[in-house]
Amino acid sequence: METPLEKALATLVLTFHKYSGREGNKFTLSKRELKELVKNELALGEKMKAGGINQLMETLDKNKDEEIDFKEYTGFLSALCMTYNDFFQQDAK
């Protein structure tokens, strides 16, 4: 049986592919695909303006090819995990 962590990992991977396959390269996120992912899958996405997406894209796109590959996406997940952890630690105080 799948453990909660395994389930979470599958969700992280499947969410990437759910959006990366929409246009252009099937294995990378274009800016539009990244925007859709953030908007639909994260509560903060609702509040994010166009400038925020541009900035996020610039931060994540380490090799500057205007696409977010899976490795670059893991950088995003890592930053999100850190934020969640900070949130839990603050909540525990």
**Residue 65 vs 86, nearer CB to Ca ion:** 65
Q: In this structure, are residues 12 and 77 in contact, taking their beta carbons and an 8 Å threshold?
A: yes
Instruction: Tell me which of 16, 33, 61, 73 binds Ca ion, using CB under 5 A.
Output: 61
Tell me the C-alpha distance between 62 and 28, whole Å. Answer: 13
Tell me the C-alpha distance between 78 and 93, whole Å. Answer: 23
Q: Does 65 bind Ca ion (CB under 5 A)?
A: yes
**Residue 70 vs 87, nearer CB to Ca ion:** 70
Instruction: Give residue for tokens 């931060």.
Output: 59
**Residue 55 vs 85, nearer CB to Ca ion:** 55
**Residue 33 vs 61, nearer CB to Ca ion:** 61
Q: Does 90 bind Ca ion (CB under 5 A)?
A: no
Token pair recorded at residue 23: 């246009």
Q: In this structure, are residues 68 and 29 in contact, taking their beta carbons and an 8 Å threshold?
A: yes
Q: Does 63 bind Ca ion (CB under 5 A)?
A: yes
Q: Does 33 bind Ca ion (CB under 5 A)?
A: no
90 φ/ψ angles, rounded to the nearest 5 degrees: -65, -40
Contact residues toward Ca ion (CB under 5 A) are 61, 63, 65, 67
